[in-house]
A and B are shown apart, each in its own frame.
Chain A
């Protein structure tokens, strides 16, 4: 009996802390893999690992705090959060700090703040809030307003320019709309419209370097030492890893620095080179576990807002994974999207785990609500 009692207590413990044990475990696995790979790709520099550890700690605390807030509170705060983000984005364009050729940051004196990161959560919150006010499936008018909610920040971010983030922000909103049950007819119509819009984007919206990236993506070998260098070296790293990989710390492409952006956006190439196809499939398995778990949480969520929000956060997480792996392995043009929880870097890590905090809140706080 004592044994049974103990298990019960343990379950309640995690539940009381509003932590989804399965998700936490899977996320920790990814973080571990990330640290190991950063150590290897960063020239075995402990400083790099330590800094990443600090960030992970901060991000985990953020996640834990956000998990304590009930979904209803998010629903109430959605509009304010979104409006705040929008103002910040406009401010960035007006008085933002320029770095790496783009205007993304707001200098708040103490910290540099990247409003586009806020939008990664604010947009799905806003869309979920707006759509869930009505019966589902939503009507075309609501869908249209939903799209406006999505595209205002998306365009603002794209103008910074930050193609990767705008892509993630756009998809987070669109996923919420998709999950809400917008008709397939509308989906096809919008896809067709998007197709027609592409040339307009090319000629009027995309910056020179973005066009170059797309051209390079289409034929990287055309400029092997220039624009195509990243992607060629990356493919060589992945390909030469083979089935079983070259071994940890043994990846020549990364250790000898042929691979650019080794510990940030291209870390997947390092991982693939050193751990091979077997390692990659293991990694994908963990990602799949997280995504399926997230979609299950969405499915079991108690109200429409939570469902849409949880699904949107999860699918956006998948977009991270797919876009990053796709660009590193040459399937997609290079846009600055990190490999979630593995790439070195702070801001997106905090946003990601904040998203998982909300997910955990949805996952663990439904019973309280149902009572």
Chain B
């Protein structure tokens, strides 16, 4: 204790002292309170808008909504690609009482596999507890029914539906239609480059091949947005506004599904392709490549094993033979060469050769042979097509020379992309001097030109190119680009797109075209025509050209399975044709690999499809019959009028 030596306390002085200090305190309090108020004024008044924006940024989230993909119809309104709901079993962890027990019960009911449970458990850790996590995707109808009956026992477990692409005709349309599948990293990069990333923000799948890929932009549509209020965990509290997505446009194709299926049927079990087009507008009525596969496999992600099986198959099912198959066109190109010969004046209607079965060039040792051992005898241009004389074309090719052949055949579309609305297209190859120099660094030899005359050597073409060239011929130089898309489905009616026309092939003398077309008529209808047998007794008049391609060298696996190798070295059978002869409606290009001769293998296949077209697709046989007779007489009249009746015109059938 301190000693009590204090002066007597001055209570008034002390009171005044405390009073002064109290006043100081009040001032101190007021100053600090002012600071608080100034700060709040700064926040709530001066910076109000900034904080208002940030507050909204916290709570308002924009959620993209995927547009529904456009449907794809055939020309008759049959749906070829649709959006079907698929069901998945989902668990919302937050709503489930005992997760382990639920999974156990669910495993018993739905017989979940261990890997499904394992995957679910790893997925669940990466998600917010109120976000549903799927246990099994693509439930079957039975599974949906099974669970639905017991749903009340599983709070927090539900079946969710979402739309997914489905191709009801499965493998019938695969190469042409393509398919959609999950967007991959590369595609994301490309979408980003095209400024389309935002548009795909909610989209899972995109077109990978075929029409689905080519018309991706049209089919996809425009993304919609939902403005939602979320809490700090991202849970949606309510929807503030909704800008609906713009669905993709529904596409109508020129394809006739029944004709397509017929083409599939004709090729069943064989490798090859059938392309059917409408010569009047280039519309593709059928485009089938065999063998095919089910595109639905790819929509939900094909397993590596199954994909490898497709990849490894010797029959290359992934290849679209109609647009990517590079085949030696063989005799099918004879009509085009004949036309060029006529137009160039190298030959005329009366030019004849004597075919003894062999062709030689001066100072060249090589002997080129006709397919017919002792030749066709005296052959003019018409007969050369009808009987498919090789010697005539060796000589024609020699006379034309590679430069003129190459240049003119490019006008017929050989060696070039047709421009069909598919990205899987090969330009194949129309050889030229320049090409050979670039490819092999070798000069072009005369000997190289001779086999070009019969569509062999370095020349190859896709079945679609052949169909297109035939259409150019039928239309006498008018060129329509082959098209799969016909137009858009708008409220149940087709909004037809304009036909795409290219500049026509220049004509010297239209009569030359008539000569060639008449020869195609003869091939089918006259007694020695190579396709006569195949088209015997048809109800319609058709014209065409057969082809049989020798496979000089075929890339084969290093496997000496003699039977297999020899089977794969057999000739390719080919046929191009159209009908009716007058006012044609369809043209066809058929190739069947390793099937043998064109007249005995490809032409009959073409006939089956044509018969089907005229009996089922366009069933007005009677009207056609009268047309047939009329056309025949026209053909006769033309030939006789030109006093060039080298060949007796015969009416086929009766």
Chain A: residues with CB nearer than 8 A to chain B? 134-137, 175, 178-181, 233, 235-243, 252-253, 256-258, 272, 276-277, 280-281, 284, 288, 291-292, 295, 298-299, 304, 307-308, 311, 315, 318, 322, 325-326, 329-331
> B197 CB to closest chain A CB, in angstroms?
25
Bound complex: CA A351 to CA B454 (Å): 109
Contact of A181 among B18, B41, B43 (CB under 8 A): B18
A136-B17, A256-B237, A299-B18 are contacts. A325–B36 as well, Cβ < 8 Å? yes
The reply on B37 being an interface residue by CB < 8 A is: yes
Instruction: Give me 9 other A-B pairs in contact (C-beta within 8 A), A136-B18, A304-B18 excluded.
Output: A135-B7, A135-B9, A238-B44, A243-B44, A256-B231, A256-B232, A280-B44, A330-B39, A331-B39
Contact partner of B52 (CB less than 8 A), chosen from A179, A181, A242, is A242
Contact bitstring B225-268, A, C-beta under 8 A = 1, else 0: 00001111100010000000000000000000000000000000
A258 to B45, CA, bound (A): 21
**Cα–Cα distance between A315 and B6 once the two chains are bound (Å):** 29
**CB distance A237 to B55 under 8 Å?**
yes
Q: List the B side residues contacting A318 at CB < 8 Å.
A: 29, 32
Interface size of B by CB at 8 A reads 42
Decide: B33 and A242 in contact? CB cutoff 8 A.
no
Judging by beta carbons under 8 Å apart, are A239 and B237 in contact? no
CB pair B37 A284 closer than 8 Å: yes
Nearest residue in B to A308 (C-beta to C-beta)? B18
A331 to B42, CA, bound (A): 12
| Complex Cα–Cα for A299 and B233 (A) | 52
Q: Are B51 and A236 in contact (CB under 8 A)?
A: yes
Complex contact A257–B232 (CB within 8 A): yes
B14, B36, B59, B230: the one contacting A284 at CB < 8 Å is B36
Find chain A residues with CB under 8 A from B26 CB: 292, 295
B68 to chain A, nearest CB (A): 32
When C-beta atoms are compared, the residue in chain B nearest to A233 turns out to be B58
Shortest C-beta distance, B231 to chain A (Å), equals 4
- How far, in Å, is A30 (CB) from chain B's closest CB? 16
Asked whether A179 and B25 contact (CB < 8 A) given A134-B6, A258-B232, the answer is yes
Q: List 7 A-B contacts (CB under 8 A).
A: A178-B21, A180-B18, A238-B40, A276-B44, A277-B45, A295-B25, A318-B32
Expressed in whole angstroms, the minimum distance between the Cβ of A181 and any Cβ of chain B is 4
Among B14, B33, B36, B52, point to the contact of A329 (Cβ < 8 A).
B36
B22 within 8 Å of A by Cβ?
Answer: yes
Report whether B232 and A252 are in contact in the complex, using a CB–CB cutoff of 8 Å. Answer: no
> Is the CB–CB distance between A291 and B29 below 8 Å?
yes
Q: Which of A241, A280, A298 makes the CB contact (< 8 A) with B22? A: A298
Q: Is there contact, CB below 8 Å, between A288 and B33?
A: yes
CB contacts (< 8 Å) of B59 on chain A: these are: 252-253, 256, 258
A240 touches B29 (CB 8 A): no
Q: Which residue of A lies closest to B47 (CB)?
A: A239
Report which residue of B2, B6, B43 has the largest number of chain A beta carbons within 10 angstroms of its beta carbon: B43
Q: Which residue from A233, A240, A322 sits with its C-beta under 8 Å from B36?
A: A322
Q: Which residues of A contact B33 (CB under 8 A)?
A: 284, 288, 322
A239 to B52, CA, bound (A): 7
A239 and B58 contact, CB distance less than 8 A: no
Determine the chain A residues whose CB is within 8 A of the CB of B36 once the complex forms: 284, 322, 325-326, 329, 331
Chain B residues with CB under 8 Å of chain A are 2, 6-7, 9-10, 14-15, 17-19, 21-22, 25-26, 29, 32-33, 35-37, 39-41, 43-45, 47-48, 50-52, 54-56, 58-59, 229-233, 237
Known contacts A241-B44, A331-B39; A236 and B54 CB within 8 A of each other: yes
Is B233 a contact partner of A277 (Cβ separation < 8 A)?
no
A284 to B33, CA, bound (A): 8
Q: Which 6 A-B pairs have the closest CB atoms?
A: A239-B51, A240-B55, A256-B231, A239-B43, A181-B17, A257-B232
Give Cα distance in the complex from A272 to B10, angstroms. Answer: 48
Contact A315 B40 (CB under 8 A): no
- B60: min CB distance to chain A, Å: 9
Are A179 and B43 touching (Cβ within 8 A)?
A: no
Query: Which of B10, B22, B51, B233 lies in contact with A238, CB distance below 8 A?
Result: B51
In the bound complex, residues from chain B placing their C-beta under 8 Å from that of A134 are 2, 6
How many whole Å from B529's CB to the nearest CB in chain A? 82
Contact of A272 among B44, B47, B52, B237 (CB under 8 A): B44
Give the distance to chain B from A241, nearest Cβ to Cβ, in Å.
6
Chain A, residue nearest B9 (CB): A135
Q: Is the CB of A331 within 8 A of B35?
A: yes
B10 partner residues in chain A, CB cutoff 8 A: 135
> Most chain-A Cβ atoms within 10 A of its Cβ — which of B2, B6, B37, B55?
B55
CB distance from B9 to the nearest CB of A (A): 6
| Chain A residue with Cβ nearest B51 | A239
Q: Which of A257, A291, A311 contacts B231 (CB 8 A)?
A: A257
Q: In the bound complex, how far is the Cα of B18 from the Cα of A307, in angstroms?
A: 7
Contact (Cβ within 8 A) B40 A277: yes
Nearest-Cβ distance from residue B350 to partner chain A, whole angstroms: 91
- In the bound complex, how far is the Cα of B56 from the Cα of A292, in angstroms? 39
A240's nearest neighbour on chain B, judged by CB, is: B55
Structural contact, A315 and B25, CB atoms closer than 8 A = yes
B44 lies within 8 A of A242 (CB): yes
Q: Specify which chain A residues have a CB less than 8 angstroms from the CB of B237 in the assembled complex.
A: 256
Known: A256-B232, A295-B22. A236 touches B39 (CB 8 A): no
CB distance from B559 to the nearest CB of A (A): 61
